[in-house]
Amino acid sequence: MHFEILVEDQSGKKALDMLVPKIIGEKHTYRIISYNGIGHIPSKMPSGAVAKKRTLLDNLQKLLRGYGRSWGDFPFVVFVVCDLDDKCLRVFRKELLDLLENCSPKPETRFCVAIEEGEAWLLGDMPAIKAAYPGAKSAVLSAYKNDAVCGTWEFLADAVCIGGSRKLAARGWQAVGAEKSQWAEKITPHMDVANNASPSFGYFCRKLREIAEA
């Protein structure tokens, strides 16, 4: 089986490049493609200008239709991995499924949503964070509730960054993105995919394994 995994940013790609092989094993192939942010599900097919921005949700229907038409009988599955942010999970999943229903032919697709943000999957493995950042603040980490909507990246920044999330945010979003990529690079090599406290990460692993082990 081949897995095409679409993620919303570079830090997500860096994390999954290291995590996916641990989950699906060596018998399968995979490719992880990152986009320039999550974007929004549009009411109609995106214009050329929107397509050039390469935001995930704005282009998702076009991408899925392309897979359905071009890949034919090749054994593959598409995984769409994105953050929930401040959206309602039930409503968001319905929007994604409705989008998929409008694709003909419809590619085999799974939607996996990190709640609230991708950093929730890193925070699901506290030993991995401590291994990557021995000086991480235990008091901050112990206060975190898995998959809570609480400002997830800020929580991790408060635990591992000098000056915390306020100092990092003051440097601008480019600096935040660079720090997120560094977290992915440093923490994911230590992660135990079989022992992660994030429910949304557990769902992602189960969906991958269901197909890999079929």
pTM here is 0.93
Give residue 35's domain range.
Answer: 2-116+197-212
CA distance 65 to 68: 5
CA 55 to chain centre: 14
Cα(5)–Cα(16) distance, rounded to whole angstroms? 9
One domain, residues 77 and 165: no
H helices present in 80-213, as ranges: 89-101, 119-123, 126-132, 138-142, 152-160, 164-170, 173-187, 199-212
Question: What angle, rounded to 10 degrees, do the helices at 199-212 and 10-24 form?
Answer: 50
**Same domain as 15, residue 33:** yes
Q: What type of residue sits at position 91? A: V
* Confidence band of 47 (pLDDT split at 50, 70, 90): low
Are 71 and 164 contained in the same domain?
no
pLDDT for residue 48: 56
Task: Band the pLDDT of 113: cuts 50, 70, 90.
Answer: very high
Both 26 and 60 in one domain: the answer is yes
Range from 41-50, 95-104, 158-167, 168-177 carrying the lowest mean pLDDT: 41-50
Assigned token pair, 212 = 């890999």
Is the predicted pLDDT of residue 204 greater than 90, yes or no?
yes
Same domain? 48 vs 139: no
CATH number at residue 90: 3.40.50
Question: How many domains, the chain?
Answer: 2
Residues 20 and 109 in one domain: yes
Both tokens assigned to 6? 């679409």
